[in-house]
């Protein structure tokens, strides 16, 4: 009998050790994109006041850290690539086990879909982070039904055990997303134009997406959580607006607010604010959209400004990490159009010199990007000029060749070095010389401190450009 008990206990211990080992292997080998995206959500002990749900258009265009800076709103972006409305329903149910928000903002993209899942690959981003339990099991059973692929979600080892060849140091030291779930995408691509279908034409019939949209609304209302529906802007040459129009009926039936950005296109500029031809927003577009949403939320939902709340003092440190992330990205940008786009960041001041009279200054995208940051391309049509945009003072200062100006950012002068045919900007007795091949030179400053953050110069051939490496 004693031998049998010992054998049984030994078997249990061995099985337990094997399970622990396999669980550790699974945690090491699993892809870290889901873990990194949601780590900050699970680490926070206090509640989030606002949660954002949706697909990639939300992921790339709603920045919680900007909402914190501008409005003191404590929020998290739970959106994921290709997330259907059913996926968002289960993400919300999982999130509500961790936090009690005052407002849920749900984007209604893909509401016309009958399928519960877009792609299994995309689903991993939104599901892998969720702790094992009844909610996760119910989620997978509902979304994947009898599919054998559901086991890849219920036990990570079966999904990632063969990933050892891809494991790097980062797998042992995950890097949490400093954008509170958002994902900046840097680039500038002007998509095709928009066809306005009006608000009367809409998709007909009921869809699975509509069914789960109603479930989300009813769940929030049952819990006394307010809900705001949105439809993130993008050009519509093929009838997607028919989908967004259908949401109006549901919004009216349940008496919830709905921001259909198909009817609010002035919020963004399609020439400057998209990073791909499918009109996912770049940071310039995202900052504009986020600011608009923040003002709307502040005006309509009474969400508290938490910037002076001691319970959220760590958010100031989080914001500094986010700010440093933005600063670290800028020197990596190799193309002038993207660099100009990033200068829309309202925390920056900058000075810019462009090759006078250059043909590429007539390019529509270049002209729009300059207008986006408060500069007219025609300012560079005649003669050399260095334009200083001081966002703290709200001033633009024109410094011509041979001139000198005292400004809120210091004393600036501009001259030409006749030996090298290069332009030189003098700033507080420091010299910044542009390469003689440069067609654009930019000095970037911290708006508040006046510290120089970056010195960038670019070669431009037609509209093609490349950054000159500083020596």
pLDDT of residue 26: 47
Question: Is the pLDDT confidence value at 13 over 80?
Answer: no
* pLDDT class of 394 with cuts at 50, 70, 90: very high
- Please give the average per-residue pLDDT across 307-336, as a whole number: 94
Q: What percentage of residues in the chain have a pLDDT greater than 70?
A: 85
pLDDT of residue 23: 47
* pLDDT class of 166 with cuts at 50, 70, 90: low
Question: Is the pLDDT confidence value at 316 over 70?
Answer: yes
Higher pLDDT pick, 382 / 321:
321
pLDDT of residue 11: 55
Encode the chain in three state secondary structure.
CHHHHHHHHHHHHHHHHHHHHHHHHHHHHCCCHHHHHHHHHHHCCCCCCEEEECCHHHHCCCCHHHHHHHHCCCEEECCCCCCCHHHHHHHHHHHCCCCCCCEEEEECCCCCCCCCCCCHHHHHHHHCCCCCCHHHHHHHHHHHCCCHHHHHHHCHHHHHCCCHHHCCHHHHCCCCCCCCCCCCCCCCCCCCCCCCCCCCCCCCCCCHHHHHHHHHHHHHHHCCCEEEEEECCCCCCCCCHHHHHHHHHHHHHHCCEEEEHHHCHHHCCCCCCECCCCCCECHHHHHHHHHHHHHHHHHHHCCCCCCCCHHHCHHHHHHHHHHHHHHHHHHHCCCHHHHHHHCCCCCEEEEEEECCCCHHHHCHHHHHHHHHCCCCHHHHCCCCEEEEEECCCCEEEEEECCCEEEECCEEEEEEEECCCCEEEEEECCEEEECCCCCCEEEEEEECCCCCEEEEEEEEEECCEEEECCCC
pLDDT of residue 406: 94
pLDDT of residue 17: 47
Question: Is the pLDDT confidence value at 380 over 60?
Answer: yes
Question: Is the pLDDT confidence value at 176 over 90?
Answer: no
pLDDT of residue 262: 76
pLDDT of residue 164: 43
* pLDDT class of 320 with cuts at 50, 70, 90: very high
pLDDT in tens, 337-357: 999 999 999 999 999 999 999
* pLDDT class of 459 with cuts at 50, 70, 90: very high
pLDDT of residue 256: 98
In 3D space, the residue among 106, 110, 108, 75 whose CA is nearest the CA of residue 92 turns out to be 106
pLDDT of residue 421: 67
**Which segment of 2-6, 129-133, 210-214, 297-301 scores lowest on mean pLDDT?**
2-6
Contacts of 274 (CB under 8 A, 6+ apart): 188, 189, 190, 191, 234, 280, 281, 282, 285
pLDDT of residue 469: 80
* pLDDT class of 168 with cuts at 50, 70, 90: low
How is residue 93 written in tokens? 């149910």
pLDDT of residue 197: 60
Question: Is the pLDDT confidence value at 163 over 50?
Answer: no
pLDDT of residue 203: 83
Going by their DSSP bridges, the two strands 75-77 and 50-53 should be labelled as: parallel
Question: Is the pLDDT confidence value at 25 over 60?
Answer: no
- Please give the average per-residue pLDDT across 23-51, as a whole number: 78
- Please give the average per-residue pLDDT across 58-62, as a whole number: 96
* pLDDT class of 416 with cuts at 50, 70, 90: confident
CB 114 within 8 A of CB 122: no
pLDDT of residue 8: 53
**Which segment of 117-121, 137-141, 163-167, 247-251 scores lowest on mean pLDDT?**
163-167
pLDDT of residue 465: 94
- Please give the average per-residue pLDDT across 215-231, as a whole number: 98
Higher pLDDT pick, 262 / 440:
440
Question: Is the pLDDT confidence value at 240 over 90?
Answer: no
Question: Is the pLDDT confidence value at 21 over 50?
Answer: no
Q: What percentage of residues in the chain have a pLDDT greater than 90?
A: 66
Domains of the chain and any CATH numbers: 39-77+86-110+174-324 (3.40.50.1110), 333-467 (no CATH)
pLDDT of residue 195: 60
* pLDDT class of 301 with cuts at 50, 70, 90: very high
Question: Is the pLDDT confidence value at 202 over 90?
Answer: no
Average pLDDT along the chain: 87
Question: Is the pLDDT confidence value at 71 over 50?
Answer: yes
Higher pLDDT pick, 423 / 136:
136
């Amino acid at each position: 009998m004693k031998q049998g008990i010992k054998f049984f206990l030994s078997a249990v211990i061995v099985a337990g050790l094997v399970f622990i080992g396999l669980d550790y292997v699974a945690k090491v080998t699993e892809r870290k994109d889901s873990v990194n995206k949601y780590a900050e959500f699970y680490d926070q002990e206090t509640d989030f006041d606002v949660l954002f749900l949706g697909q990639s258009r939300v992921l790339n265009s709603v920045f919680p850290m900007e909402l914190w800076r501008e409005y003191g709103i404590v929020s998290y972006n739970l959106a994921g690539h290709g997330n259907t409305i059913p996926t968002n329903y289960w993400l919300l149910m999982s999130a509500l086990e961790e936090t009690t928000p005052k407002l849920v903002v749900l984007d209604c993209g893909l509401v016309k879909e009958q399928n519960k899942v877009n792609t299994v690959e995309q689903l991993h981003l939104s599901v892998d982070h969720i702790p094992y339990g009844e909610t996760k099991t119910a989620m997978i059973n509902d979304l994947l039904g009898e599919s054998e692929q559901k086991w890849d979600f219920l036990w990570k080892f079966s999904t990632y055990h063969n990933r050892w060849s891809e494991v790097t140091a980062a797998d042992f030291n995950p890097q949490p997303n400093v954008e509170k779930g958002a994902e900046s995408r840097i680039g500038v691509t002007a998509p095709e134009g928009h066809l306005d279908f009006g608000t009367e034409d809409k998709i007909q019939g009921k869809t699975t997406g509509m069914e789960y949209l109603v479930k989300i609304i009813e769940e929030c209302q049952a819990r006394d959580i307010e809900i705001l529906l949105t439809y993130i802007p993008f050009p519509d040459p093929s009838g997607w607006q028919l989908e967004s129009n259908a949401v109006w009926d549901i919004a009216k039936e349940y008496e919830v607010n709905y921001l259909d950005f198909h009817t609010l296109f002035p919020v963004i500029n399609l020439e400057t604010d998209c990073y791909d031809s499918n009109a996912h927003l770049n940071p310039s577009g995202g900052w504009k959209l986020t600011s608009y949403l923040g003002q709307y939320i502040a005006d309509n939902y009474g969400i508290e400004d938490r910037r002076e709340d001691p319970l959220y003092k760590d958010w100031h440190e989080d914001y500094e990490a986010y700010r440093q992330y933005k600063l670290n990205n800028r020197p990596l940008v190799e193309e002038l159009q993207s660099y100009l786009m990033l200068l829309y960041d309202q925390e920056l001041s900058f000075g810019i010199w462009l090759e006078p009279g250059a043909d590429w200054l007539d390019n529509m995208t270049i002209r729009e990007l300059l207008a986006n940051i408060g500069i007219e391309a025609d300012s560079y049509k005649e003669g050399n000029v260095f334009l200083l945009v001081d966002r703290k003072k709200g001033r633009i200062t024109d410094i011509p060749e041979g001139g000198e100006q005292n400004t809120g950012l210091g004393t600036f002068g501009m001259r030409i070095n006749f030996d090298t045919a290069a332009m030189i900007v003098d700033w507080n007795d420091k010299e910044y010389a542009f390469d003689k091949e440069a067609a654009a030179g930019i000095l970037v400053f911290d708006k508040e401190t006046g510290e120089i953050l970056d010195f960038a110069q670019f070669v431009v051939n037609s509209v093609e450009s490349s950054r000159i490496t500083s020596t």
